[in-house]
Amino acid sequence: MSNQLDLSQLPGINLFSLKGKSAIITGGSKGLGLAMAAGLASAGANVMLVSRNASDGDEAAVQIAKEYGVKAMTFSADVVNQAQMEEMAKTAFTAFGSIDILVNSAGINIRGAIDEVKPEDFTKVMEVNVTGTWLACRAVTPYMKAAGKGSIINLASTLGLVGLSNRTPYASSKGAVVQMTRALGLEFAPFNITVNAICPGPFLTEMNLPIADTEEGKKFVVGATALGRWGELKEIQGAAIFLASDAGKYMVGSMVTVDGGWTAR
């Protein structure tokens, strides 16, 4: 066997190209969802920004299309509504001709001690974060199976891997997303569809603004990271591009932590 490298089999940066591919991003009108949508578009993907109110993402879609020369559109849907998730997938396929990537970024967080959180709030978090992710995955399944390819990226969390007090609804939901990702990764692998998850740490999104200046936020969140700071939205983009592209094709049921070293301690 020769030790000579065949560089034609090592395309390098071309592996990260998403040119000609199309992506659906739930929760795509703001925060990490919008950041990932912009990241995918920068690599050449057409994008659909999905939110409960599509107008929230209209300006962003216009900017993305202009900046990156791709197709960008918005769509109104509630991730917990099966019919709306199916219409989302149908609309994206009609508009783009394919559904190559799904990013499940829609999610909510309700904090509090277990005896302070209302049971209906616990149920709501589980419904949006877990059932919503499952329904979106289910909606794109026939399109990806028919194409014989696809990439699904779920947004789990470092709190799906480790614990933090006063977070039972959110941590439970993200732990479920971790296991969903593993199970669906195994289920979809024979169809050449990869399913993985990104586990973000402390990013200063709208969801985390309420604790940004609190003692808890400073000590137990940001203070616990190796880098000693909140993550910047752009710092989630690399992981999304990697998992959506051919560069991540050997990743199945994996959890990619982007947390500034929070879980390393």
Amino acid in the structure at residue 81: N
- In the prediction, which pLDDT does 1 show? 47
- The single residue of 68, 143, 170, 250 carrying the catalytic annotation is 170
Residue 82 has pLDDT above 60, yes or no: yes
Q: What is the mean pLDDT of residues 169-182?
A: 98
- In the prediction, which pLDDT does 94 show? 98
Residue 34 has pLDDT above 60, yes or no: yes
Q: What is the mean pLDDT of residues 230-257?
A: 96
* 170 part of the active site: yes
Average pLDDT value over all residues in the chain: 93
pLDDT category at 212 given cuts 50, 70, 90 is low
Tokens 């940066």: give the residue: 13
Domain map of the chain by residue range? Answer: 18-257
CA distance 92 to 147: 14
Q: H helices within 97-167, ranges in order?
A: 119-126, 132-147
Phi, psi of 48, rounded to the nearest 5 degrees: -115, 120
Amino acid in the structure at residue 11: P
CA distance 64 to 109: 28
CA distance 244 to 224: 29
How big is the chain, counted in residues? Answer: 265
Residue 130 has pLDDT above 80, yes or no: yes
Cβ-based neighbour number of residue 135 at 10 Å? 23
**CATH architecture for the domain at 18-257:** 3-Layer(aba) Sandwich (3.40)
- In the prediction, which pLDDT does 50 show? 98
CA distance 202 to 217: 9
What Å distances lie between residue 227 and 91, 107, 161, 222, 261, CA to CA? 42, 25, 19, 8, 7
CA distance 260 to 229: 8
